[in-house]
Amino acid sequence: MPKPRLRLMIAPGTLHSRGSDRMDFTRYGRSGKPRMTGEELLPTLPELGALADIDVDAGNPQEIATHDELRRLAVKIEKMLKGDEVDGVIFVQGTNSLEETAYFLNLTVRSNKPVVITGAQRPYTGLSTDGPLNLLNAVRVAIATETRGKGVVVVMNDEINAAREVTKTNTYRVQTFRSRDIGLLGYADPDRVVYYRAPLRRHTLDSEFDINAITQMPLVDVLYVHAGCRAGLAEAALAGGARGIVIAGSGAGSTGNLAAEINAIVAAKRAVIVQSSRVGEGRVLRVNNWSEPDMVAADNLPPHKAAILLSLALTKTNDPDEIQNLFDAY
């Protein structure tokens, strides 16, 4: 049988970076050496050719620093997967915002073909780099028939995590990507790729977000609540053009010193306010000690992912109840 056909896409990141020497684990971004291209990566792993026919996307590197750049990336990948010549996509990027890319694509790419995102904690030239095995396992997961229909997945450290739940939990350790209180989907073990569960929230092919109909992502800001948080930040966000604000609340969603201005903004319907939490695990409930009518609860989405869903939701509606339904569904 013919081998699966995969498209390799690359954004700036650690996996394909080159340090000044094998012990350069922290300053490789300033080594002066250019990152490896996809054409340079593939020959270093001849094992990939035994698994799949892989070609490199000509548009590399992909810039993914803003929601609008993610929108353009999603349009490109969806178009790519509609064709018969591509059976799946491998996307390599830096780990700092990897989970945001994964969730955005999970919400917008209408295809049940595999989209697998990977990265690395150590540069390709570093001693004991995790990049080569992460890339190999990403390909193995992409060609596994069980991966189809599970939405966008993240593959690192031999583990498969769902885009919605996965988050970076450690600055330098290779086991950084975890799904905390929900748990991983499965493993890319030496003998085979094995799954134990599937995502239940709506994603990819079942998504109602038509990325091709969106010309610009509405601006959304995230405000972080802490003991020294100053009033006025929410007003500043609105003055800067934000149509929505996500509160990275303390505890179960406290708005802290921002409460008065947030409540006034909600009452005047000047923006949609989503309550999230900075804690990292657990749900924020819509009825809580700090909620007001017409506030939206982020459920267990962290603030940065809640901002992605809110921006997409604002392309469809400004109604808080309808947006709450979207947060409950996705």
Of the residues 14, 101, 108, 129, only one is catalytic, namely 14
Q: pLDDT exceeding 70 applies to what percent of the chain?
A: 100
Query: pLDDT category, 59, cuts 50, 70, 90?
Result: confident
Residues of the chain with CATH 3.40.50.40: 219-329
Query: pLDDT category, 33, cuts 50, 70, 90?
Result: very high
Residues of the chain with CATH 3.40.50.1170: 5-206
Query: pLDDT category, 248, cuts 50, 70, 90?
Result: very high
Q: Determine the pLDDT at residue 41.
A: 96
Residues 6 or more apart whose Cβ sits within 8 Å of residue 101: 11, 64, 70, 73, 91, 93, 117
Query: pLDDT category, 130, cuts 50, 70, 90?
Result: very high
Residues 6 or more apart whose Cβ sits within 8 Å of residue 229: 223, 256, 257, 258
How much is the average pLDDT of 119-134? 98
Q: Determine the pLDDT at residue 235.
A: 97
- The three state secondary structure string of the chain is CCCCEEEEEECCCCCCCCCCCCCCCCCHHHCCCCCCCHHHHHHHCCHHHHHCEEEECCCCCCCCCCHHHHHHHHHHHHHHHHCCCCCEEEEECCCCCHHHHHHHHHHHCCCCCCEEEECCCCCCCCCCCCHHHHHHHHHHHHHCHHHCCCCCEEEECCEEEECCCCEECCCCCCCCEECCCCCCCEEECCCCEEECCCCCCCCHHHCCCCHHHCCCCCCEEEEECCCCCCCCHHHHHHHCCCCEEEEEEECCCECHHHHHHHHHHHHCCCCEEEEEECCCCCCECCCCCCCCCCCEECECCCHHHHHHHHHHHCCCCCCHHHHHHHHHHC
Residue 34 to residue 45: CA distance in whole angstroms: 19
Dump pLDDT digits (tens) for 69-124. Answer: 999 999 999 999 999 999 999 999 999 999 999 999 999 999 999 999 999 999 99
Q: What is the mean pLDDT of the chain?
A: 97
Q: Determine the pLDDT at residue 60.
A: 83
Dump pLDDT digits (tens) for 272-308. Answer: 999 999 999 999 999 999 999 999 999 999 999 999 9
CATH superfamily for domain 5-206? L-asparaginase, N-terminal domain (3.40.50.1170)
Residue 292 to residue 253: CA distance in whole angstroms: 12
Residues 6 or more apart whose Cβ sits within 8 Å of residue 1: none
CATH architecture of 219-329: 3-Layer(aba) Sandwich (3.40)
Clarify whether 14 is annotated catalytic. yes
Q: Determine the pLDDT at residue 1.
A: 80
Given a cut of 90, whether residue 61 has pLDDT beyond it is no
CA separation, residue 190 to residues 141, 159, 163, 177 (Å) = 12, 12, 23, 19
Q: Is residue 324 a contact partner of residue 297, using CB atoms and an 8 Å limit? A: yes
Given a cut of 90, whether residue 62 has pLDDT beyond it is no
Length of the chain: 330
Dump pLDDT digits (tens) for 180-238. Answer: 999 999 999 999 999 999 999 999 999 999 999 999 999 999 999 999 999 999 999 99
